[in-house]
């Protein structure tokens, strides 16, 4: 199939491309950027009308269904939410039900997501069996089944010797390990340690829970040479340690969630469970450090941290409520919002959700270049919209960015999404 998207503002953050022109697609791949190749005869034409055409968003952390959630039919609805938000590739952690610790389970998940024929789903396999932190999972078999890395999801490996062996094995066979840095003995709280948590009587998670985990992790990386992706960094101390590790030359990358990038502990308000998140919202100096690190590239990617929680999971006292919120459809808008507040160009603001995120995966994605997969997002940069339950396609409706909660209008409206040149969102019936 030959497709021509005409008159778009073409932005490719990876190359610095920012110009008005056409983009040609044939057989699922980009064959012309700026102008169509000679003799190209499109079967479909899309008039962009000056809207912005970028690579489809790459989200490095999104769940299709929260562990223990009562939400059913989650995969299809969450993938519909993904493409409605311009996300064409998402990475799913292994704490599904059952845990992704066997190749057959990975293949089953991939079959279901491929059958939905919406966004691409790249699973992470379990680093240890059942995520129990004791026996190593079959890393090689999980990788062969399609996993892009090995992870413990929200369950730290308590036994440092086990983590050391895991990184040794991963380094020997070239597997990348994805870990959220949190000391298991200090990470049992529900809010960031500080005056607000004390005043509300909430159990706190100290910043050193992240720092100690990073110190341990970086020391093990020095010993093993393993490549590690640090997930959802949340503290200014963590940013400093990450910056030093990169300067040292350790093979480490990192991401931050849209929640930690925009919100602080004060946004909990009076026990508002939509702000019950993992990692917990921290103080303003943490948010400022995360924003600066994302802007200068110390933090590689911005992730939605999408966790579809059902109504029952949030209708509980704050400390008992399920952590998480819907965010797949907000990722583009919150990247644009951060960019505008930080005085960044459109291309700079979109890098952490396109080309820079794809580099973490080591895959050919997140680019507008000839030969690349035609995974595309077309959006109206001047549009504004509100986060309301009626607007969201995700089966989960809880977000700390809900309009009725904060009155915030989101910048940027997705009008079309393509995966491998096939339109999966927008147009008639969208």
Q: And the tokens for 302?
A: 């911005």
- Residue 64's nearest CA partner among 104, 119, 128 is 119
Angle at 311 between CA 307 and CA 315, to 5 degrees: 110
d(Cα 287, Cα 43) in Å, to the nearest integer?
48
- Residue 56's nearest CA partner among 374, 327, 403, 337 is 374
Catalytic residue (one of 305, 310, 312, 380): 305
Q: State how far the alpha carbon of 4 is from the alpha carbons of 27, 76, 370, in Å.
A: 12, 28, 14
Beta bridge partners of 45: 4
Contact call for residues 60 and 360 (beta carbons, < 8 A): yes
Half-sphere exposure at residue 22, Cβ-oriented, CA atoms within 13 angstroms: 17
Q: Is 380 a catalytic residue?
A: no
**Residue 394 CB contacts under 8 Å (≥ 6 apart), including other chains:** 77, 78, 81, 306, 308, 326, 328, 329
d(Cα 360, Cα 348) in Å, to the nearest integer?
17
Contact call for residues 3 and 376 (beta carbons, < 8 A): no
Residue 161 class from Cβ within 10 Å (0-12 exposed, 13-18 middle, 19+ buried)?
Answer: exposed
Query: How many other β-carbons are positioned within 10 Å of the β-carbon of residue 125?
Result: 29
Contact call for residues 63 and 278 (beta carbons, < 8 A): no
Residues with a known catalytic role: 305
């Amino acid at each position: 199939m030959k497709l021509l998207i005409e008159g778009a503002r073409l932005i490719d953050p990876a190359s610095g491309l920012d110009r008005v022109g056409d983009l040609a697609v044939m057989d699922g791949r980009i064959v012309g950027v700026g102008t169509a190749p000679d003799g190209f005869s499109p079967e479909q034409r899309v008039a962009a009308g000056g809207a912005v055409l970028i690579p489809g968003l790459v989200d490095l952390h999104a769940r299709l269904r929260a562990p223990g959630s009562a939400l059913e039919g989650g995969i299809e609805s969450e993938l519909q939410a993904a493409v409605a938000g311009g996300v064409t590739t998402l990475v799913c952690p292994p704490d599904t039900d059952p845990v992704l610790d066997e190749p057959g389970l990975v293949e089953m998940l991939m079959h279901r997501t491929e059958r939905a024929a919406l966004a691409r789903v790249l699973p992470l396999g379990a680093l240890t069996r059942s995520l129990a932190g004791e026996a190593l999972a079959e890393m090689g078999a999980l990788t062969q089944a399609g996993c892009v890395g090995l992870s413990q999801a929200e369950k730290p490996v308590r036994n440092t010797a086990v983590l050391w062996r895991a990184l040794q094995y991963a380094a020997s066979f070239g597997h990348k390990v994805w870990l959220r840095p949190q000391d298991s003995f200090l990470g049992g709280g529900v809010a960031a340690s500080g005056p607000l948590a004390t005043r509300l009587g909430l159990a706190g998670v100290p910043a050193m829970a992240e720092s100690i985990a990073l110190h341990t992790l970086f020391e093990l990386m020095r010993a093993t040479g393993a490549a590690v992706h640090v997930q959802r960094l949340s503290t200014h101390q963590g940013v400093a340690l990450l910056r030093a590790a990169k300067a040292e030359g350790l093979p480490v990358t990192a991401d931050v969630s849209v929640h930690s990038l925009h919100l602080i502990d004060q946004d909990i308000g009076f026990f508002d469970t939509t702000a019950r998140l993992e990692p917990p919202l921290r103080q303003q100096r943490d948010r400022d450090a995360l924003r600066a690190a994302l802007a200068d590239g110390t933090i590689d990617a911005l992730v939605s941290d999408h966790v579809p929680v059902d109504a029952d999971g949030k209708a509980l006292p704050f400390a008992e409520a399920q952590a998480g919120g819907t965010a797949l459809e907000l990722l583009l808008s919150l990247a644009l919002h951060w960019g505008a507040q930080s005085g960044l160009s459109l291309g700079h603001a979109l890098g952490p959700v396109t080309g820079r995120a794809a580099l973490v995966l080591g895959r050919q994605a997140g680019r507008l270049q000839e030969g690349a997969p035609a995974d595309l997002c077309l959006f109206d940069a001047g549009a504004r919209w509100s986060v309301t339950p009626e607007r969201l396609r995700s089966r989960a409706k809880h977000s700390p960015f809900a309009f009725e909660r904060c009155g915030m209008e989101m910048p940027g409206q997705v009008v079309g999404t393509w995966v491998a040149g096939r339109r999966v969102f927008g147009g008639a019936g969208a």
